[in-house]
Amino acid sequence: MTKCAAIQMASSPSISFNLLEAEKLIAEAVKAGAKLVALPENFALMGTHETDKLNAKEVEGAGPIQEFLATTAKKYSVWVVGGTMPIAGNDSQKVRAACLIYNDQGERVGRYDKIHLFDVKVPGTDEVYRESDAIEPGTEVQVFDTPFGKLGIAICYDLRFPEFFRKMSELGVEILVVPSAFTAETGAAHWEILLRARAVENLCYVLAPNQGGFHINGRKTFGHSMVIDPWGVILDCYKTGGGFVCADIDLERLRKVRGAFPALEHRRFF
């Protein structure tokens, strides 16, 4: 068994402040026994406008946010799933929302770029989001080998597309990490339902770090970061504000569940 943690933040427009907060929470999670920690979407920057990401973008392999992730992983001897951060892509007027994975030696071992972009007017509110104004979508589903199991990454709005997770299932995913910044409105309606559904239909663990609280830009995010087991049981949940959830990932239990309830083997449509 491996103890894994999902970090919850209420990030601000200040990168330096957010990084200090992230390190504090990572240190606390490691003290609680976590060997893998995952940060939420936009952990380093929750700007006033989507285009604020352009001013903070880094080239791959260099920059203060990437240096922070590498240094922190090595300092605390912990694997870090780096939420999302803005990295230069093919379009000079946009960024990639990249999730970078670092091992406990501070080496980058994986990257996933958010595919599904949140271009939505939230029903019942005056909130309008246009991620495509500043973000260039990724194109590839990613599953990575780790000492803790096969790790798949999905980011926030990706959660609403079950076929995306089926692709990861075909690649052998055992742990889904879902860094997010779900709005208060959509989170209250769908966050738990979607996370538990993804765990149950793919018979895997779900580690879901979310933004949670009031932000300087006026936005409110839902929080309720969770760890969920392959049977859909919520192992831990942190409702609002900064903090973390922590629970054991037990691959032996996962294999027993899959063996006793072989739904993945019964699929007839591909």
268's CB contacts (< 8 A; 6+ apart) are none
Dihedral of alpha carbons 103, 108, 109, 115, sign = positive
The set of catalytic residues is 41, 114, 156
Place of tokens 């392959």: 230
* Cα 109 to chain centroid, rounded: 16
Read off the amino acid at residue 148: F
Query: In this structure, are strands 128-130 and 119-121 parallel, antiparallel, or unpaired?
Result: antiparallel
Among 187, 209, 176, 175, smallest CA distance to 83 is for: 209
What does the alpha-carbon distance between residue 27 and residue 213 come to, in Å, rounded to a whole number? 21
Q: What is the DSSP string of 2-14?
A: EEEEEEEB---S-
Place of tokens 């922190």: 72
